[in-house]
């Protein structure tokens, strides 16, 4: 299978997995609008991840045009769900702390196993 097709399958698998994780497991007092925002945010974060960009609040604000509060309101449920991990790093000026996020390793591992399964199936044909 070509590399471009692999990337397409990987992106589709990520989107489908995230969609099901968020829609099928609503958090208490969560609105459908909030879940939809989370799905969209995970898509943005995945694209940033693929582009090797740091997933900091400042970078997310810059890319999305949302306010810091808007980003935080969408990101926090993703951290609670375990779809993102959070750590504190030095801010870009080297002083103070900044929130930095990563797509949870278990999600990326599930995607890798999906990709390996699809590669082995296509080589068997």
Domain containing 11: what range? 1-124
Question: Greater confidence, 52 or 8?
Answer: 52
Are 91 and 109 in contact by the 8 Å Cβ rule? The answer is no
Q: In what order do the strands lie in the sheet with 55-56?
A: 55-56, 97-103, 84-90
What pLDDT digit, counting tens, does each position of 76-120 carry?
999 999 999 999 987 766 778 889 999 999 988 887 776 665 555
* pLDDT the model gives residue 59: 94
CATH number at residue 100: 1.10.10.10
- Kindly state the tokens that stand for 7: 């990337």
Please state the domain count of the chain. Answer: 1
In a 13 Å sphere around the CA of 15, the CA atoms on its Cβ side amount to 10
């Amino acid at each position: 299978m070509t590399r471009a097709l692999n990337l397409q399958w990987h992106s589709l698998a990520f989107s489908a997995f995230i969609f099901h994780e968020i829609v099928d497991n609503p958090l208490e007092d969560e609105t459908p609008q909030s879940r939809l925002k989370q799905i969209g945010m995970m898509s943005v974060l995945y694209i940033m991840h693929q582009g090797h960009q740091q997933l900091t609040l400042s970078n997310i604000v810059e890319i999305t045009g949302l306010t810091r509060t808007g980003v935080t309101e969408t990101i926090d449920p993703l951290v609670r769900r375990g779809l993102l991990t959070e750590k504190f790093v030095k801010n870009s000026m080297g002083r103070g702390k900044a929130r930095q996020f990563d797509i949870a390793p278990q999600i990326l591992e599930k995607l890798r196993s999906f990709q390996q399964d699809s590669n082995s199936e296509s080589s068997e044909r």
